[in-house]
Structure 1
């Protein structure tokens, strides 16, 4: 591997975590909640890559950049701060990071709200991805699935080659994927040279490239102009580049991974860390007040100062509907 490639960890912090309402709010998205071993997911993301990279870059927005700054200043971490004025999805967010980098710099792009365990496996996957990226490939991390999960997208592969990307499947398709044995969970993590990514973006989505470049060129201290940003099509890196480029490779990864995108995944994680549940699998999050469940199984009670949520664990994906309804009513309960 060429040692002159500097390595940058690009952390994407744009998500709101609507399926984790009422814990996750616009003013305190899920990646900043101190729910997990007394640290936030964002802090754990910074820590896990600290020894693997030369530079840290955070792509955030006007609502959350102060929350990132607080964490990074606490640990004395120098970082490059990119502040979006409005969310434009992952293709643009990653383009800004690439424009801010030397074309030969290798970027490891990760969300800020995932749980990752088994760090030996993780470091091995990162090393393999950096080696492929240094040879000009765009690398995606696929996680060896442990169950037919319907909350994740999938990558169909043959060895290191990607055959197709699949949307979140229904139960039948998910079981079919697992049985076939050559499908991986799509982790939303990537590794590539900044210049290679920009070349592919320009080739396959010139509009996102040009408009992101215009917004980046006009940035003031990493802050992006609202009007120029609104002109950028809101499209994911998957649609803009990954599903179209011929330079894609996948690293099949054995580390433990969860995107903590729902209360079901939070429940499983907290149980693994010894968080109490009663004899019928009921859990309380957010309060120490005595809480009794009568005639209920696998129920999660989520308490906050201004709102409570009671749900069946299996219905975790439907929390988004509550969030969307409150958004329609312009409720202060989302703030």
Structure 2
């Protein structure tokens, strides 16, 4: 029987959660929850469903991963990217580091999932399909017309199409039609199946990733060779092109916590205070008064203050991008 390997992709920065999330302390390592960090929660959630753990990170955050893994005393392998080249390359490295028949359960490191039994059922279903030679994606039941997620159009376990982040009207139409799921960014497949499909549909990514992997040393990837790999997501490279795709419709609660709106919803659920107009402060114990404002989030850190209306929270990434262009220390 093939082994099941949990592959955690931990290279994200979480720019929409600035100023809480920074390059040197991305959102997946922040202890925002009573259970600890999202990274640690991801490890625990999958420990008893898989046989081994592989973390694909980068030179900026691998030590943060090591600290969590060591504190949890979890055996693991790490692949460290000098220059991250998106998820197609990261997953290719994981497959190249595995036995061909290994089943790879690929998950982000920064998602919030509630419902252990429903999660285990979904993973078991995904592993079964992966053993049959399919590339499996996991779809989340859409509960609102979310414009910050990609969507999967489906029928039974067949994927009819992948849709990019829609505008509000399109998202509402997806919800009304009822055959669209949120794209969770979680996948399951045999290592050799993924590499075969990557070689078929994105040969330039495959060849450059293989060359880089062959030159790696103790999990560290060469920077110059990494720069030659096209930066493309696994969705574009393989999932939207392959004929071997299947989807598992899940029943657990899920959030990518990719914005202050989703963090706000979580914090409200666990009892974080808001005023009578839905305003919330995060990161400060100082008395904070909101006058003439509604559904506004105040985020306070030692060196920055952010005020954002909840429904505009996706736009925080623009502030991060401006600071990045100016090489500001506020994102470090």
Whether TM-score is above 0.5 comes out as yes
Question: Following TM superposition, by how much is the alpha carbon of 1:117 offset from its aligned partner in structure 2, in angstroms?
Answer: 0.6
Query: Which one of 117, 121, 124 corresponds to residue 124 of structure 1?
Result: 121
Tell me, in whole angstroms, the C-alpha distance in 2 between the residues paired with 1:204 and 1:296. 50
Question: 1:8 is matched with which residue?
Answer: 5
Question: Following TM superposition, by how much is the alpha carbon of 1:119 offset from its aligned partner in structure 2, in angstroms?
Answer: 1.3
Question: Following TM superposition, by how much is the alpha carbon of 1:89 offset from its aligned partner in structure 2, in angstroms?
Answer: 0.3
Tell me, in whole angstroms, the C-alpha distance in 2 between the residues paired with 1:54 and 1:316. 38
2:58 corresponds to 1:77: no
Query: Which one of 31, 35, 39 corresponds to residue 36 of structure 2?
Result: 39
Q: Is the 8 A contact 2:13 2:22 kept in 1?
A: yes
Tell me, in whole angstroms, the C-alpha distance in 2 between the residues paired with 1:215 and 1:330. 29
Query: Which one of 76, 88, 91 corresponds to residue 88 of structure 2?
Result: 91
Tell me, in whole angstroms, the C-alpha distance in 2 between the residues paired with 1:246 and 1:321. 36
Question: 2:251 is matched with which residue?
Answer: 254
Question: Following TM superposition, by how much is the alpha carbon of 1:32 offset from its aligned partner in structure 2, in angstroms?
Answer: 0.5
Question: 1:190 is matched with which residue?
Answer: 187
Tell me, in whole angstroms, the C-alpha distance in 1 between the residues paired with 2:118 and 2:172. 25
Tell me, in whole angstroms, the C-alpha distance in 1 between the residues paired with 2:47 and 2:269. 25
Normalised by the size of structure 1, how large is the TM-score? 0.98
Tell me, in whole angstroms, the C-alpha distance in 2 between the residues paired with 1:151 and 1:114. 14
Aligned residues: 332
Question: Following TM superposition, by how much is the alpha carbon of 1:139 offset from its aligned partner in structure 2, in angstroms?
Answer: 0.2
1:145-180 alpha-carbon deviations (Å, 9 max, x no partner) = 111111100000111010100000111111111111
Detail structure 1 runs of 4+ shifted over 2 Å in the superposition.
none
For residues 1-335 of structure 1, the aligned pairs below 5 Å read 4-335=1-332
SS in 1 for 2:249: strand
1:197-232 alpha-carbon deviations (Å, 9 max, x no partner) = 000000111110010001111111000000010000
Question: Following TM superposition, by how much is the alpha carbon of 1:134 offset from its aligned partner in structure 2, in angstroms?
Answer: 0.5
SS in 1 for 2:298: strand
Tell me, in whole angstroms, the C-alpha distance in 2 between the residues paired with 1:264 and 1:322. 16
Question: Following TM superposition, by how much is the alpha carbon of 1:297 offset from its aligned partner in structure 2, in angstroms?
Answer: 1.1
Question: Following TM superposition, by how much is the alpha carbon of 1:290 offset from its aligned partner in structure 2, in angstroms?
Answer: 1.6
Q: Is the 8 A contact 2:112 2:256 kept in 1?
A: yes
Question: Following TM superposition, by how much is the alpha carbon of 1:292 offset from its aligned partner in structure 2, in angstroms?
Answer: 1.5
Tell me, in whole angstroms, the C-alpha distance in 2 between the residues paired with 1:298 and 1:37. 24
Question: Following TM superposition, by how much is the alpha carbon of 1:38 offset from its aligned partner in structure 2, in angstroms?
Answer: 4.9
RMSD, matched Cα? 0.7
Question: Following TM superposition, by how much is the alpha carbon of 1:287 offset from its aligned partner in structure 2, in angstroms?
Answer: 1.2
Normalised by the size of structure 2, how large is the TM-score? 0.99
Question: Following TM superposition, by how much is the alpha carbon of 1:296 offset from its aligned partner in structure 2, in angstroms?
Answer: 1.4
